[in-house]
Each structure stands twice: as structure tokens, then as C-alpha cells.
Amino acid sequence: MTGNALELRAVTKQYGPVTALAGVDLTVGEGETVALLGPNGAGKSTLLSIALGLRAPGSGTATVLGRRPVEALRAGGVGVLLQESGLLEDVRVAELVTAVAGMYPKPLAPERAMRAAGVEDLAGQRVGRLSGGQRQRVRFALCVVGDPGLLILDEPTVGLDVAGRRALWQEVRDRTARGRTAVFATHYLTEADDYADRIVLLAGGEVVADGPVSTVKALVGGREVRCRLYGGDLADLEILPGVLQVDVEGGGPGGASVALRTNDSDATLRGLFAMYDDVRDVRVDTTDLENAFMTLTGGRGR
């Protein structure tokens, strides 16, 4: 036993000309809640499916709860919610949840799992008749019914309404608060921010940042302050509070166009006005996630 929930070592995956994973190392300790954040095509689903032994890596190794992934799954230690995984169509919701519960050594009562996923009212419905959002809730019920120590969720809230999202995250939180581990993929910074304690930022098949939420958020979730400056020493821009990155065009008597990436635009602005006498055309924008990925990865995210 390694004491780790998940370990990937130098994992690569190639689909023809597409490099889906370009050598990923990732260790998730037991009890962590980790968000795998990245734009579409970053390799999140590939990474999770390799971690689960559903796809073979091109090279490298994956270990789950100290075992080979298939063995960990077979032992019932892992609950999985994958994007668009198929469901048996012809059974009723309660029958499906009960059947899956029967595959685990110590399952929850099926009613308990259905309640957690908000599908108790659908217990008698045939799966084939459910809407997309209802099916996603059923997938989540199946994910937790085994009462697993490790949850692996691939974009779990896609297709869910507000109530469905709330129920799902409430259940995930209840579990992680009791020391369970969760790894979820998302392309929403807010979900990573609200529900994870660590963010692994994936772009172009590589881990481009990995750390506490606040650290990674500062990299991708900052603001951009733009202005024109006339006079003053432009080198001082680097030392303004909150500034992460400085871009300057022009200069001299014609003025300089300045773009500052900052994790604290209020402090940056105060510093800017204190430091420079002639500041004009000030604009503050949120940097969107896609742009932040592009900056961090030099365009590899696309």
C-alpha cells in the first residue's frame, strides 16, 4: 500500500497524430479533493480513463489505492462517473441502483444513494425514459452507492440543473469531509474553486500548474489592468502590488500602452496611480480562463 489514492507516472497517450497526454505525473493522497481543470481537449477524460484502467497508456503506469486500476475497481474502492457512459435502458432506476449496489462489498442502502443524487422520485421510472439531466443524476447515484473511498468524476455537473448540481456537490462534500478522496474533471474555474482543495491544471496533455486552489487561481483567474502611461519609469510596473505579468508597447513622449495581469486589481490600481503622474484610459477586465490557459501554455491548450 502506498497511502496514495492515485498515482500516475510518466503517462503518455497518443491517438494517431494527436498527443492526448504528453507525460503526466500525478499523485493524489488519500483524503484530498482535487480538481483536474482544463479546456476542452486538454486530456482530462483520457487521464481519468487511464487512471481507471479503461484505456491503456501509451507508456507510463497508473496505480489506484496501491493496486493496478482494474484490481482497485474490482475490490469496490472506487466510485466512477464518466462522461456519457451508457446505462441499462430497460430497467427501472431503483432496480439499476440496487443491482449496482450488489456489486460492492459494503454498499449504501439504494434509497440512500438515490436520495443523495435526487432521484428518489424517479425510482420506478424506466431508465430509457429519463432526460439527460435525470440520467446524469442516476449515474451519480451509481457512483456513490458502493460507498467508495475514492470518487472519480468526469465533468459531473454537465447537463444538471441548479438543484442537481447542488445535490451532487453536497454529497461530494459530505464524503470528503469524512476523509474520502475525490478527483473531478471540470472546465469551470468556479467549480474547482468552490469544491477542491487542490487544482491540477491540464492543457495540451501536460500538467501546467499543480497546487493549492489559491495559487492556481491566481495564475488563471486574475484580472487585466490596461492603461496608457506618459512618463515615469516603466520598469517599476513589475513591482506594483498584485502584478503577475507586464506587457508594454510603445513609450517615450507618445506614451506607452500597458497591460498588467494581476491577482489584485484594486491594489494594482492604487499602486499605479501612486507611482505614475499621468495615467490615462484605464480599463480593468477579468482574464477569461481560455486566455489564461493560452498564456500559461504558450498556445498548446488549443
Residues that bind Mg ion (CB under 5 A): 44-45
Interatomic CA distance for residues 184 and 186, integer angstroms: 7
**In degrees, to the nearest 5, what angle opens at C-alpha 228 toward C-alphas 224 and 229?**
115
Does 45 interact with ligand ADP (rule: CB under 6 A)? yes
38 binds ligand ADP (CB under 6 A): yes
Which C-beta is closer to ligand ADP: that of 43 or that of 69?
A: 43
Contacts 24+ apart (CB under 8 A), 7-10: 7/61, 7/62, 7/63, 7/64, 8/47, 8/50, 8/51, 8/60, 8/61, 8/62, 8/63, 9/60, 9/61, 9/62, 9/63, 10/59, 10/60, 10/61
85 binding ligand ADP? (CB under 6 A): no
CB of 169 to ligand ADP, least distance (A): 20
Count of residues of this chain found to bind ligand ADP when the rule CB under 6 A is applied = 11
Pick one of Mg ion, ligand ADP, none as the site partner of residue 40 (Cβ within 5 to 8 A by kind): ligand ADP
The least CB distance from residue 160 to Mg ion, in Å, is: 16
Rounded to whole angstroms, what are the CA distances from 129 to 13, 32, 89, 99, 279? Answer: 36, 36, 8, 19, 62
Minimal distance, residue 226 CB to ligand ADP, in Å: 31
- Select from 40-48, 84-92, 165-173, 264-272 the region that touches ligand ADP (CB under 6 A): 40-48
**Residue closer to ligand ADP, measured from CB, 101 or 216:** 216
Q: How far is the CB of 171 from Mg ion (least distance, A)?
A: 21
42 binds ligand ADP (CB under 6 A): yes
CA distance 94 to 52: 26
Q: Which residue from 26, 44, 62, 208 is in contact with ligand ADP, where contact means CB under 6 A? A: 44
* Closer Cβ to ligand ADP, 40 or 85, answer by number: 40
Residue 206: CB atoms within 10 A of its CB come to: 18
28's grid cell:
493524489
**Does 20 interact with ligand ADP (rule: CB under 6 A)?**
yes
Measured CA distances, 128 to 92, 113, 229, 275 (Å): 9, 20, 63, 65
Q: Please report how close the Cβ of residue 209 comes to ligand ADP at its closest, in angstroms.
A: 15
Q: Which residues bind ligand ADP (CB under 6 A)?
A: 15, 18, 20, 38, 40-46
